[in-house]
Homo-oligomer: A and B are copies of this chain.
Amino acid sequence: MPVVVQKYGGSSVANVERIRQVADRVAHTRASGRDVVVVVSAMGDTTDELLALARQVSANPSGRELDMLLTAGERIAMALLALALNQRGVEAVSFTGSQSGIITSDSHTNARIVEVRPFRVEDELQRGKVVIVAGYQGVSYKREVTTLGRGGSDTTAVALAAALGAEACEIYSDVAGVFTSDPRVVPAARRLDEISYEEMQEMAGAGARVLNAQAVEFAKERGIVIYARASSGSDEETVVRRFPPKAPGRVVGVASETGLVLLTLGPNAAPLAPVLELLDSRGAGAKQLRYDAALGVSLVLSLENLHDYGALRAELSARFPAVALHEGLGAVSAIGAGINARFATVRECLRLLAADGILVQGLATSRFRVSLLLEQAAIDGAARLLHRELVERSF
């Protein structure tokens, strides 16, 4: 029987009423003659609430115990959904990430899936049951419980779809697919009918929340087609799959993110390696590391996956006084396959922002992306501006 993997995010299971709606949809899919694996996140803001509790009892909570704590969130959601399905007469069984065979690296709070051994999931599907799997969590080779970082339930769903040979992976959230920009910031943003893996990876990497970047990478590697839909049940969707760009050089979307810090270090100021070693030891993976002998070093830190920026800043200042930190930054990015074959898009972005009086603090390009580093307060306006001039014109 064909297998379908459905993933429901935190807002889709935020309360009992919504869990009942998800159960209805799952029961409906099961009745259509397919095996169903459901991946669930924790209810609503549970994860953030648990994190806040941890901070109240410990100034510097250990990663291992944080992971033990946070994984309780999906455990609650999955058990409730199994109960709701049983209530409807649908046989269902829930499994933790560990029980589902989600094997990860051993970096607590930000692990990566390295292998999936879904033997118990397969056994229960064969018995005709709906299988509910806790997203966002797994178990390391050292047998410790781990979590996958923000958006990790998407990765659980795609990795399971690949391991099970599923025909599709459906990602349900509170928005109906992938938009050309965040509709809350850019009202003119439109839903994309389809987007390539590469463009979706860049959108996610540049701050779009709808799909996790590692999940898209997994899907690309394994050729899994992703359907992004709203759990509210509209028929609209975005299909993420492999296809050649329709018009190379076209800007498909504008994504933005905040909470960035620009670290710079003038030429000959201090050796780079010990700075990088300190960042590594604090788990501060950086975007866009760049060094030029004539100009110096620059790199962009994201506060999102950094658990204690204050401590990092203190240690940087103490050990490397030449390091300058520019806080309160964000980035707005124009994304599209082939947009950097020439400088036309970069120049247009610089022209538009200058005409609007927006100061550009930094700029970086990759094959699929032009990213502009701006003061946080300027991000939303810049996103609307670039979306209007670069995306809406081709509507």
Asked if residues B346 and A294 are in contact (CB atoms below 8 Å), the reply is no
Asked if residues B221 and A244 are in contact (CB atoms below 8 Å), the reply is yes
Bound CA span A350–B296, Å: 15
Asked if residues B285 and A346 are in contact (CB atoms below 8 Å), the reply is no
Q: Across the interface, name the chain B residue whose C-beta is closest to A362.
A: B292
- If the complex has contacts A221-B243, A266-B295, A363-B290, are A279 and B248 also in contact, measured as CB distance less than 8 A? no
Bound CA span A263–B392, Å: 34
- If the complex has contacts A266-B295, A273-B347, A324-B294, are A285 and B362 also in contact, measured as CB distance less than 8 A? no
Q: Across the interface, name the chain B residue whose C-beta is closest to A213.
A: B367
Bound CA span A280–B114, Å: 43
A289 on the B face (CB < 8 A): yes
Asked if residues A280 and B344 are in contact (CB atoms below 8 Å), the reply is yes
A326 on the B face (CB < 8 A): yes
Fill in one digit per residue for A285-306: 1 if any B CB lies within 8 Å of its CB, else 0: 1101111111110100000000
A377 on the B face (CB < 8 A): no
Question: Is the contact region of chain A dominated by helix, strand, or loop, or is it mixed?
Answer: mixed
Fill in one digit per residue for A330-358: 1 if any B CB lies within 8 Å of its CB, else 0: 00000000001111101100110010000
- Which residues does chain B contribute within 8 Å of A279, judged by CB atoms? 343
A215 on the B face (CB < 8 A): no
A112 on the B face (CB < 8 A): yes
Interface of chain A residues 244 through 289 with chain B (CB within 8 A): 244, 248, 262, 264, 266, 272-273, 276-277, 279-280, 285-286, 288-289
Asked if residues B364 and A366 are in contact (CB atoms below 8 Å), the reply is no
A242 on the B face (CB < 8 A): yes
Bound CA span A180–B304, Å: 36
A55 on the B face (CB < 8 A): no
Q: How many copies does the complex hold?
A: 2
Bound CA span A362–B295, Å: 9
A2 on the B face (CB < 8 A): no
A223 on the B face (CB < 8 A): yes
Asked if residues B347 and A264 are in contact (CB atoms below 8 Å), the reply is no
Asked if residues B221 and A242 are in contact (CB atoms below 8 Å), the reply is yes
A88 on the B face (CB < 8 A): no
- If the complex has contacts A273-B350, A277-B343, are A293 and B221 also in contact, measured as CB distance less than 8 A? no
- Which residues does chain B contribute within 8 Å of A221, judged by CB atoms? 242-244
A365 on the B face (CB < 8 A): yes
- Which residues does chain B contribute within 8 Å of A16, judged by CB atoms? none
Bound CA span A116–B272, Å: 48
User: Contacting A362 at CB < 8 Å: which of B276, B293, B346, B373?
Assistant: B293
In the complex, which of the residues A243, A293, A295, A351 has the most CB atoms of chain B within 10 Å of its own CB atom?
A295
- Which residues does chain B contribute within 8 Å of A366, judged by CB atoms? 366
A313 on the B face (CB < 8 A): no
- If the complex has contacts A242-B221, A341-B285, A342-B285, are A347 and B277 also in contact, measured as CB distance less than 8 A? yes
- Which residues does chain B contribute within 8 Å of A273, judged by CB atoms? 347, 350-351, 354
Q: Quote the shortest CB–CB distance from A217 to chain B (angstroms).
A: 9
A87 on the B face (CB < 8 A): no
Bound CA span A339–B354, Å: 36
Asked if residues B244 and A292 are in contact (CB atoms below 8 Å), the reply is no
- If the complex has contacts A298-B290, A363-B289, are A276 and B343 also in contact, measured as CB distance less than 8 A? yes
A28 on the B face (CB < 8 A): no
Q: Quote the shortest CB–CB distance from A314 to chain B (angstroms).
A: 20
Q: Quote the shortest CB–CB distance from A210 to chain B (angstroms).
A: 20
A120 on the B face (CB < 8 A): no
Asked if residues B360 and A291 are in contact (CB atoms below 8 Å), the reply is yes
- Which residues does chain B contribute within 8 Å of A291, judged by CB atoms? 360, 362-364
Additional pairs, 9, CB under 8 Å, beyond known A280-B344, A285-B341? A112-B341, A222-B244, A262-B294, A264-B294, A276-B350, A289-B365, A290-B363, A291-B364, A293-B359
